[in-house]
Structure 1
Amino acid sequence: MSFTLGANQYGKAGIRLVSVERDGDRHFVTDFTVATALAGRLDDTHYTGDNSAVLATDTQKNTVYAFAREYGVGEPEAFGLRLARHFVKTQEPIYHARIRIEQHTWERLAPHGEPAPHSFVRSGGETRRAEVIVTEEHDVSVSSGLGDLTVLNTTNSEFHGFPRDKYTTLPETRERMLATSVEAWWDHSSEDVDWGKSYADARDALVTAFASTYSLSLQQTLFSMGSHVLRKCPSVDEIRLSLPNKHHNLVDLTPFGLDNPNQVYVAPTEPYGLIQGTVHRERELPSAGPQLW
């Protein structure tokens, strides 16, 4: 009986990078969590333990920090492109480099109504994301994204007309709270992109669509959100969305002699509906970007 090595990659995950740019008394903080993943002609290290083609994951980590000092950090997409190209160019056995970055946001404190030059507070759970793939054939793909963007509409949402069988207990509703925590990745068709503006435009399109769509289903809202991003961001070919339905259920207050005119809710964390989908421009080939599921 014989066995064959399949697809494989290796790298360093959880590289915490915080960079401070100092413009006189005014400072700027960039906070990344970086993950590297390299693939190539690495059969020997798996079969025999020969590490002559293996760039140590510690070296990959050190490269992240050195590049932050030597070239600066900037936008996560640009930083990821620089790292991925370096690994493929300088390591002959490596033909595929994937860099994934999460950016954590810090906001300036304003203790006396004026933004402090060097004092910050960590923003909520929302994170900005980027993933870059570079191959030795000079193929490049860049995807941007975000996670944990929690949004809520207190009205303008319904859910009715769904099939009913002997196991159905959910009542139809013409008025409900709609909340979700957005996870999204979108793929770019070019590297010639103003990454900061493109991200801001995509995020604005997502929240604008969520707020302005009268929702008859979370699926309808998902398609509206994805369509808004494609409409506003010409460099984006496809967007993948994962939207957990963060249920808000009216509390029955009749045992206490009280009514509840859509005012008091309970927000259970589990179980929850999970709505996922892809919106893309008309095309023939499937996307090669990072998948949400």
Structure 2
Amino acid sequence: AWSCLVPYAFFAGRRMPWASPLGASDTRRRKGSKTYERASFYSRLLTLCGILLALWGLYMFALFRCFTVTTSQAGSTPKTSSPTPAAPNTMKSVRRIMPTPPQHWVGDGFHVYPVFHDLAFTKELSPWLMFDYAAPKKFSPTSSRRGVGKHPHRGFETVTVAFQGEVEHGDSVGNRDVIGAGDVQWMTAARGIIHEEFHSTEFAKKGGVFEMCQLWLNLPAKHKMDPPRYQPILAKDIPSVPLPGGGHVKVIAGEFAGVRGPAHTFTPVELWDVELEKKGTAYELNVPAGHNVIVFVRRGRALIGSEGAEKEIKPQVRRL
């Protein structure tokens, strides 16, 4: 209402005789006279006030709209996405093999490889934004805290998977937790959260081999202003599906062979931890139709693709 009424008052005021330097009530006024200068001053003042009120009205209107959208979404309950069934007899082809990126430190506790490298935050890997992998590294015992202090996130989710060692998490919502080997923490930053990540106190005291990874997952626009949330997913709660040729698939998110993972997601994604046991055995993993597939090999080697057109995938980290 303000955005409509204020401009009308502004333009109506411009037509008032006392606000015009040559108004209809006094055609004898001329430039240079005190009467003209006074009228001109009031006219400019009225114009400025009208503009400021119009801008304020537009701001209040936009704020009201934003508040309405935010409050209507705040109480929504996230649902686990339902993937589209895989198209039969369709074999994925390997589009690109990413090179080994250089390592860098995140804080003083995570020596990571930015796996996505130049493809991070691109549409090609969307909705996944970033993937950091901390290869196995031995840390000596210490009484100090190793990791990253308080820092903010907004608009996406962080997924941390611990392979060896322990990660301690704390955030501004009040969550505090420690995950160990095989556990996952799924944090939804949404409209904003501040958190910290360290080696756990017990692990730091004892020292040992530390290995983990963290992925960033974009949120749909309609959920970016949802309340932040934290999901601790323990190894014992992650279902494991055996493979016919030996090995298994741990379903963290999404679905595999009719088995759903425990993670509640806003985006239709699958996250599997796959272990293949028999060398030279062919495995077929069905994925939802229309989904791209990102394969990261931690140990060993794999041939991926249709028969006769396979491409060898090696660990990005050659030292493993």
TM-score normalized with structure 1 length? 0.29
Task: Select the structure with the greater relative contact order (CA < 8 A; seq sep ≥ 6).
Answer: 2
Which structure has the larger Rg over C-alpha atoms? 2
